[in-house]
Each structure stands twice: as structure tokens, then as C-alpha cells.
Amino acid sequence: MSDLVIDAVLAIDIGTSSIRAFAYDRNASVIKGLRVQIEHKPDISDGGSTFDPEQFFYRFVRCLEEMMALSRGVCKFHSVGITTFWHSMVGLDSVGQPVTPIVTWADQRPAQEAIKLHTEVDATAWHAISGCAIHPSYYPSRIKWAVKEFSIADTTSVKWASPAAFILSRLFGRLWESTSIASATGLFDQNANKWSKTICQTLVVETNNLPEVSNDNQPVIGLQMPFADQWPELNDIPWSQPIGDGAASNLGSGCHTQNMLAINLGTSGAIRALFKADQFAIPDSLWCYRLNQDYFVSGGAFSDGGDTLAWLRDLFGIDAVKSALAAIVDKKPAEHGLTYLPFLAGERSTGWRPSATATIHGLRQSTAPIDILQASMEGVALRFKLVYIELKACFPEIDTVIASGGALAAAPAWSQMLANCLGTSVEVAEESEMSCRGAALTAMKDAGWITNWDDVPLLKTRAIMPESQYVDLMDRELQRQQALYEKLS
């Protein structure tokens, strides 16, 4: 092998819009030219959001095939890291074959089961255990719905697993779930670090209907056939335990201490704190999951983010939105007089109302498309402020906010809106692949390249300072938004 071959780790991002693979060097930087992206999208109809499991696995294999073809002779992989979307599940039979589609986090069809479950259990107590509200995004209502929807007669033989667990079971010949992925199901006891017997027994779900939860300190090695022959370069190296994309994004952003917050604004949005602790008293308004056995991640998530721009492009046309985005930087905040509730896909944080709908209040004959665009973007930014207030109450030492995501790149004015709404400076990362970088860092640790998360170069960011003359104004806009929310709720 040539001396020019680069030492690398492989990071794989199993996402809702694509499956991607990147090669990272020892500085946690993407190696030029070593990137593969296989696009896909869920089947969406009547509130559903699903993938065919076989096609999903095929696209994963294809992504790795293309990466290996690109990387041979260029780099040597020392470990593999995986990040994936949380909250999604597939039912598997006794031999590991799918008996349901992959039901994604966005599927709202279990909403009636969630409403019914609210009347049957102590939702506050369940949230204190699992860190998850009773909501169609999580497993409790989703399993009850799936049993009926897919006519599963023998529920004792089905295992409910994540898409990542399904994929890895085929690669390694056994089914398990990582702590990070298990922690975001609504069935996991966050402080006990295991499946919750209290919640599972209430649902009549045995823990043997769920994959074994892995030891995060033990990466897996040794692909089964035919994959050991297909990818010999990946066979004898450690594969890190999969981590949820939100926790991975914090890690990739460098936000792994409780004085730092990470904001991601892509198709959806989230604001999170990642911190090391033995126990955590979970506030009612926040969710709580895990990066691994040592680190919690807590915050809020929103179904609406960049999809708001996509909706407006469909409404007004691509060119109109493009020109409005360019002009919006010269407009004063909130001068449109509109109040927007960004619930195009229902509400997650903080009220967790799946039936909530988006609302624009204050329309007049003089209202222009640019006004609706500005109000919509500001409305999204104001929801981040709601969760920011809650996180500051938990972690008063917060002094750094790092933001990333494709929607920020597509609409730079959003960064200033976030700074004005939060009332603090926002460091906008020049890189956008924070989740993949987080997966790369876990792989680097398992390869023995780093011992601490700080052992890599800092991200390059640009600081966006709040415009002091508008901070109080945006606080009043939040009060107006909340008043409208309460009236409609």
C-alpha cells in the first residue's frame, strides 16, 4: 500500500432524506472526494411516513459499495461510526424478517392511540421515567397502533427495533439496540439506563420483544457473510454503537458540556444540551435521551424548520422566495404585524400536540409574500426561544450557542433572527454535517485516536450578535405568539 494512503474513519449517516457516507482524517475533517449520498424519501400518505425495509437496506449496502469503490487505494479505514434518525421502528419476526414497514418519526397515524394512552396512564410519571411525552412519535402509542394496522396476531414473536438495529442485524448476524437509539423510544428508563419494566408491562410489551441494549464501550467487530467478503477492509475494524442524530450533532458541533447549546435547523429543528451526569431530573417541558451510557442529551425539537421554506416555495414559487430571502435582510423585525404558529406538521416541543396546525394571524390586503416569509421564519425562531428559556433554567452556566444546518445555509437571515430571539450571540458553523462529524468522533475514539471529545480541532464559526434594539421587541413577539397559541389550544 502506498505511503500516500490516508488513515481514516468511516462515518455513516442513515437519514430520512438520504443515506450518506464520509471518510474523515485524523483531524476530523472530511477527506476531499470521499463522500457518497444515496437519496431517498419516505412514502407519505394519509399521515403516514414509511420506508420499505428491504429497499432501505439495499440503499445502505449501495452507499457502502460506492464508498469502498471510491476509497480503495486512497485511505485505510480504522473504524466505522454510525448516526441515524431517532424514534423510528420496524417489526421483525423470530428470524429477523420485517413484518411491518419502517415507520418513521414523522408518521402521525398513531395519534389516536396516543390520545387514548393519555387517559390510561400517568403521562407525567411516564415522562419522568422515559424523558418522552406520550406522542405518536414514540414507541408506546406506535406499537399499539402497529399491532392493529398490520394485523399482528402473535405479538409475542415480534421484536420492535430501530432501522439501524435492523441493518446491523443483517451485517453482524445478531439483533441489538444501542443505548442512544433505545433512549429515544419512550420505553427506556433514562436514569436506570435500561428498558423500563413499568412502561413495558403497562403496554403488555415484554422486554424480550425488544432488542438487547448494548454495552456502549464495546464496539462490534466481524461482519458475517457475504459482507465480510464484500468489504474486507471493514471486517476486522471496530464498528461503534449507533448514536441518534441529535446527540451526534451536538458532539460534532463541539457542544458536549452543559455550558454549550447546539441548534440544528434543517428540514426540522432542534435545540439541545449534551452533558455528563449520573442522574437527571427531567423537566416536564423538555425531552431527554442519551448519547451513550455516560452522557444525557436534553432539549426540544420542532417538526417545522426548513420545510417552512419548502412550503412557501410551493405556495409562491421558487423565484419569489429566492428574491424575498435576499431582500429580507433589510427589513426590520416584526414590522409585518403578523403572528405565525409553525405547526405545519403538528407540534412537538413544547406542548406535544400532534393535531396542532399552522396559523398566520393578522393578514391584511397590504400583506405581501415577503411579510409571510419573514413572519414564518421569525415564528420558527421564537419556538427556539421557548426551549432556550427552559434549558437556561436547568443550566444557568450556558454561555455558548452553536448553530448549523442546511436551512441556515439556504436562508442566512435566519441566523440573525435566532440571535435576536434568543438575546445572545449565535456561533454559526461553517460546516453543515454535524451529525456525521459526531459519528466520526465516536469512531475516532473507538479507533484509539482520541481519548476525549476535546482532542480534535475546533470548528470554524462566525459569530452573529443580537441587535440590541430588537431583543425586547422579539420578547414581546413571543408573548403575542404564546397568547395566540393559548387561545387556539
pLDDT of residue 419: 97
pLDDT of residue 2: 47
pLDDT of residue 17: 87
For the range 320-328, what are the long-range contacts, defined as Cβ-Cβ under 8 Å and sequence gap of 24 or more?
320/369, 321/369, 321/373, 324/369, 324/370, 324/373, 325/373, 325/410, 325/411, 325/413, 327/370, 328/370, 328/373, 328/374, 328/377, 328/413
- At 305-354, the pLDDT tens digits run 888 998 999 999 999 999 999 999 999 999 999 999 999 988 989 998 88
- At 359-414, the pLDDT tens digits run 999 999 999 999 999 999 999 999 999 999 999 999 999 999 999 988 888 898 99
Percent of the chain with pLDDT over 70: 99
- At 100-126, the pLDDT tens digits run 999 999 898 999 999 999 999 999 999
DSSP 51-100: E-HHHHHHHHHHHHHHHHHHHTTTEEEEEEEEEE-SS-BEEE-TTS-BSS
Cell output for 48:
403516514
- Distance between CA 251 and CA 272 in Å, rounded? 11
On the question of a cis peptide bond just before residue 350, with omega within 30 degrees of 0, the verdict is yes
What confidence tier does 55 reach under pLDDT thresholds 50, 70, 90? very high
- Check: CB of residue 304 under 8 Å from CB of residue 380: yes
pLDDT of residue 1: 43
pLDDT of residue 303: 86
Model pTM greater than 0.85?
Answer: yes
* Cβ atoms within 10 Å, residue 153: 6
pLDDT of residue 157: 86
Closest CA to 349 of 179, 199, 182, 135: 135
Helix 245-253 to helix 434-446 angle (10° resolution) is 80
Q: Is residue 27 predicted with pLDDT exceeding 70?
A: yes
Looking at residue 422, the DSSP 8-state letter turns out to be H
Give the range among 60-69, 187-196, 426-435, 443-452 with minimum mean pLDDT. Answer: 426-435
Residue 279: its H or E element: none
- At 131-158, the pLDDT tens digits run 999 999 999 999 999 999 999 988 888 9
Q: Letter for the amino acid at 475?
A: D
